[in-house]
Amino acid sequence: MLRSCHLEPALAVTVFVTALAVAAGRGAAGSASVAAAVLSGQLSIGWCNDAADARRDTACGRRDKPTATGELPPRTAAVAAVTALALCVPLSLLSGAAAGAVHLVGVAAGWSYNLRLKQTVLSPLPYAVGFASLPAFVTLGLPSPTWPAWWAVTAGLLLGVGAHLVNVLPDIEDDLATGVRGLPQRLGRPACRWLAPVVMLAALGVVLAGPPGPADASDRVLAAVGGTVAVTGTALHSGIHSRWPFRAAMVVAAIAVTQLLLRGSELG
């Protein structure tokens, strides 16, 4: 079950958003509710993905997917996904109706990707919506609810699109062989290898330039490190099944979130 839920990205997103909630002033209880809601939503999306892709993963001989190797029945993954989604609803609403609704829209976007949109040219859209919804989930749950600053939403959107590109990279050939033709598959591996770091760097640029006031030295250093990681991890690691582009994306996302944390009081 742990290997099937896409634990690495689920935990990464949960930690990033929880840290953002702490920096924005959600307090201990509020930040804990954010963590529980985000984790349950991410787990539901991960299990849904493996349940929906079980036949394709089996056909491609994916040894890293328990639903493809027979270790985990797809029905069990599907039941776990629905259960986690059912828990996500009340946990999200602990932050208030508006914040909860925004988060649930983001989770629904993840499900729509798994069940349909991953096979279409609109495949980046669920990632963009899901990541862009996270700053709003944080700020709309504050004692004085407010929409997040434009640059926080834009950075989330760009990070989501970048995450989609690098997440698909190792599986493009398998996807095409089983009829999955999302936008990255249509663009091809070489284009995605270079587009992914560009999108990630754009996210860092938005966080650097968007907030009012001049960027300080720490912001510039973080942006430089993020740029180096994005280019090195994505563009230079060209192995067909390499997971380094995805790991590089997680590092860049962590750097972007760190920049957001430094400006937590300016999110709203």
DSSP assigned state of 148: P
Is-above-0.75 flag for pTM? Answer: yes
Establish if 103 belongs to a structural domain. Answer: yes
Establish if 2 belongs to a structural domain. Answer: no
Establish if 174 belongs to a structural domain. Answer: yes
Amino acid identity for residue 193 in this structure: R
Total domains present in the chain: 1
Go through 202-226 and write b for each residue having 16 or more CB atoms within 10 A of its CB, e for each that does not. bbbbbbbebbeeeeeeebeebbeeb
239: which 2 tokens? 């192995």
Provide the residue-wise pLDDT of the chain in tens; the chain has 268 residues: 999 999 988 998 999 899 989 988 899 999 999 999 999 999 999 999 999 999 988 988 888 899 999 999 999 999 999 999 999 999 999 999 999 999 999 999 999 999 999 999 999 999 999 999 999 999 999 999 999 989 989 999 998 998 898 888 888 888 888 889 999 999 988 888 888 888 888 888 888 887 776 667 777 787 788 777 777 766 555 555 556 666 777 777 778 777 777 765 566 6
Instruction: Please tell me the distance from the alpha carbon of residue 121 to that of residue 187, in angstroms, as a whole number.
Output: 10
Establish if 197 belongs to a structural domain. Answer: yes
CATH at 167: 1.10.600
Establish if 244 belongs to a structural domain. Answer: yes
Establish if 225 belongs to a structural domain. Answer: yes
Distance of CA 192 to the CA centre of its chain: 17
Range(s) of the domain holding residue 253: 7-266
Establish if 206 belongs to a structural domain. Answer: yes
Residue 13 near residue 254 (C-beta atoms within 8 A) = no
| Beta-carbon contacts of residue 199 (< 8 Å; ≥ 6 apart) | 158, 161, 162, 165
Establish if 1 belongs to a structural domain. Answer: no
